[in-house]
Chains A and B, each alone.
Chain A
Amino acid sequence: MKTDVLIIGAGGAGLTSALTAHENGATIKIITKEYPTRAQTSMAQGGINAVLEDNNGDSIQSHIQNTLKSAHGLGDEEAINLLCTKAPDAIQWLDSIGVSFSRTQDKKIAQRRLGGASAPRACYAQDYTGLKVLHTLYDKTIQKNIEILNERYLLEILTQNNSTYGVKVLNIRSGEIEEHYAKSVIIATGGYSRVYDKHTTNSSASTGDGIAVALKAGALVSDMEFIQFHPTALKNSSILISESARGAGGYILNSKGERFTDELLPRDEVARAIHNEMLQGEDIFLDIRHLGEEFIDKELPQERKLAKLYENIDPVYDLIPIKPVAHYTMGGIDVDRYSATNIKGLYAVGECANQKVHGANRLGGNSLLELIVFGKEAGKNSALYARTINYFKQEESLSNELNINKQPTIDFYKIKEEVGDIFYKDVSIIRDKKSLQLTLDKIEKFIQDSENMGITDNSKIYNTNLIEFLEFKNILTISKFILLGAINRDESRGAHFRSDAPTQNKLFDKHIIIDKNGEVQ
């Protein structure tokens, strides 16, 4: 059970770092709680940003400037330079391994313009960019014989003297606890939008596991308060209705049938406008009826299907009920330029990490790019680090007890839903210190009460009741750190808007970095 590099998570970031560490001669093992192709990466539709030809109306410099602007002063210039400069190579690499990008009439990779970009620079594969990137990476991983252990849930990062030597996981199929040893470990477990429970576009797996576990091991987290809300999700199911519906000329209406915002403003501004209407008791709708059935079937077939399925309405004839929901989490495990954490040998990459390329607000098309560019960096750097370690530590610290309450008096599924509802109400698009503080008190109470929560399914084999409970405990941990960030940031910036401090304040041109004890650094 020993490898040079151990990677937790098998989405775009995990697979890219695995392939790169492998190229650098390291022995690799990937561990994932699902299967690689089920990762959140599969849901990314829009595209992946890269300036493929300088001087063709776009430049790498513009990509850098757009990204810095969107980051609202919290972007790391060096990291963003690297992200944008390496973007063309990232696309060329994906093309060379077989990603089915859409093409232009003159045989180039097709690009479209996403919000906040000064030129069309998002390379795309129809509306399935993430899916096709992820599956191609997966095929490559199989070709390279890289070992993937599916359906194992991360419990603990093993450390000694502030350096990591592996992880402890729960084998979901057998119910056994396993230890896997390595010279370096990469966390690539995705974001934490599921804190908002049903009010997110994300997969039910986006519960911030890697972040919560890294915190316990002594890693630092930063910028946790920055959460991007997508303005147009279906009202009942939070399923994403792609930005292309607005791009094509869709209107956003209130109950009176009035337009109240410019639909093409950046996501945070449209989301805020909708939020304000909703606070006044308005229901909000997306109207694409005027685009016509032919156009909708050609350009927005997924949207029509999903609206029928989840809202029981047909967008050709009806208004689509929508609301803004949590979509992407900018904060995460604090890492340096090398994707390294403060724990020796421990790296983090992708949405679970805070590489500081998104700052206070992520630009569409930059998240897939981050997975590839920094996936490669993390893969290379962890492999190089592993070379400097000439021994495996192997501690027989195996304790096989999870200590789970089997006679719960409080139903954690109800509390999980309640946390989501509270967060959606008070830790969302518009916040204020008082409600944030009250929410923190509630979360602290839930953490205390969690002793009386547990599971009623006693099966050792494939116990999803247990996994969901462990995810819920991570959600509680993560919610506390979001609140600490949001309470400490007495200003408004990007996705973090405080009604009691509505302007950006120079004093906060800094990252809020927090340790496991909740101490702000």
Chain B
Amino acid sequence: MKITIQRETPQEFEIQDIDNITLLSLLKHIKTTQDNSLTFNSGCRSSVCGSCSMRVNGKEILACNYKVQDGDFIEPLKNLPLLRDLVVDMENISVKNKQATAWLSSITQNISLSQEDAKINELQSDCILCASCYSACPVFSVNEEFIGPFSLTRVWKYVSDKRQNNDKEMIETIQTNGIWSCTLCNECTLVCPQNISSKADIEKLRSQSAMAGYSDPAFNSFGSFGFDGTPVF
């Protein structure tokens, strides 16, 4: 099997007698037997720690959750500063979550949630912060200040939570460089290893914002229509 890894320059590796394994296992094999300097991150091997996100043939994957194929081209994530080989700087995860104020803003006691209440954001709280969506998002190339898909999903998680008692502030926060900057292209949904759709969460936040009296700043005249044909007030 031959694969190519984008390092300072693309480097081809040939591996004998290995087939039907995860990309992560193969990378470990190369590192320990062929080239100790190959640099990548890994952790749990079972898709919950978010360490081994990278791109194969242009698409974001978790290396532990992808069966490597002959001829694959492996690259680091996009939109994040490259540190070395397949490792990018993930500091932006906390920067963006902070920008989004993605947390329960005050301690709430004795609020009982029903099964239905819990279902509202169950999927969103499956996020492992692997940043695949961040890498796939086309908005960052034109707007670095964009809050981005995983942070907006996190905002939806907390806004939709019955225990949150001042979602007004959160909704306010995501008006700038937030929900209206998204192009609804759905790339984030296609690459999420946890089957979360940030696009769908952003749409929910848009309708909640509309109900709170906000509108798309790009269409701020009364009675205009958004991209998808829904009225914006």
- A residues with CB within 8 A of B: 34-35, 37-40, 42-43, 92, 95-98, 100-105, 107-108, 125-126, 128, 131-132, 135, 139-140, 142-143, 148, 150, 173, 203-205, 237, 239-240, 302, 306, 309-310, 312, 413, 455-457, 459, 461-465
Q: Output the least CB separation between A42 and chain B (Å).
A: 5
A108 to B117, CA, bound (A): 12
Report yes or no: A455 in contact with B108, Cβ–Cβ below 8 A: no
Q: Which of A95, A102, A456 contacts B37 (CB 8 A)?
A: A456
Q: Which of A126, A139, A309, A461 contacts B122 (CB 8 A)?
A: A126
Q: What per-residue 1/0 map shows which CB atoms of B27-52 lie under 8 Å from chain A?
A: 00001110011011111111011110
A312 to B21, CA, bound (A): 9
Q: Output the least CB separation between B133 and chain A (Å).
A: 15
Report yes or no: A457 in contact with B37, Cβ–Cβ below 8 A: yes
In the complex, residue of chain A having the shortest beta-carbon distance to the beta carbon of B118 = A103
Q: Does B190 contact A (CB under 8 A)?
A: no
Report yes or no: A37 in contact with B128, Cβ–Cβ below 8 A: yes
Among B44, B84, B107, B117, which residue has the most Cβ atoms of chain A within 10 A? Answer: B44
Q: Output the least CB separation between B35 and chain A (Å).
A: 9
Report yes or no: A203 in contact with B49, Cβ–Cβ below 8 A: yes
A456 to B43, CA, bound (A): 23
Q: Which of B92-100, B175-183, B225-233 is the contact stretch?
A: B92-100
Could you say which residues of chain A place their CB within 8 Å of the CB of B25?
237
Could you say which residues of chain A place their CB within 8 Å of the CB of B49?
37-39, 42-43, 203
Could you say which residues of chain B place their CB within 8 Å of the CB of A463?
37, 39
Q: Output the least CB separation between A34 and chain B (Å).
A: 7
Could you say which residues of chain A place their CB within 8 Å of the CB of B43?
34, 38, 203-205
Could you say which residues of chain B place their CB within 8 Å of the CB of A132?
125
Could you say which residues of chain A place their CB within 8 Å of the CB of B103?
97-98, 139-140, 142-143
**Known: A143-B103, A413-B32. Contact between A100 and B125, CB under 8 A?**
yes
Q: What per-residue 1/0 map shows which CB atoms of B72-98 lie under 8 Å from chain A?
A: 000000000001100101110110011
Report yes or no: A142 in contact with B83, Cβ–Cβ below 8 A: no
Q: Which of A37, A97, A104, A237 contacts B45 (CB 8 A)?
A: A237
Among A37, A140, A457, which residue has the most Cβ atoms of chain B within 10 A? Answer: A37
Q: Which of A101, A306, A455, A459 contacts B118 (CB 8 A)?
A: A101
Report yes or no: A38 in contact with B154, Cβ–Cβ below 8 A: no
Report yes or no: B121 in contact with A38, Cβ–Cβ below 8 A: no
In the complex, residue of chain B having the shortest beta-carbon distance to the beta carbon of A455 = B36
Could you say which residues of chain B place their CB within 8 Å of the CB of A148?
94
A239 to B46, CA, bound (A): 7
Q: What per-residue 1/0 map shows which CB atoms of B48-84 lie under 8 Å from chain A?
A: 1111000000000000010100000000000000011
Could you say which residues of chain A place their CB within 8 Å of the CB of B51?
34, 38
Could you say which residues of chain B place their CB within 8 Å of the CB of A35?
90, 93, 129
What are 27 A-B contacts with C-beta separation under 8 Å? A37-B50, A38-B49, A38-B51, A42-B48, A43-B46, A43-B49, A97-B104, A100-B157, A102-B115, A103-B114, A105-B115, A107-B113, A128-B126, A131-B48, A135-B127, A139-B97, A139-B102, A142-B94, A142-B97, A142-B103, A203-B44, A204-B42, A205-B43, A239-B45, A457-B37, A462-B84, A465-B36
Q: Does B161 contact A (CB under 8 A)?
A: yes
Q: Which of B37, B46, B50, B118 contacts A100 (CB 8 A)?
A: B118
Q: Does B163 contact A (CB under 8 A)?
A: yes
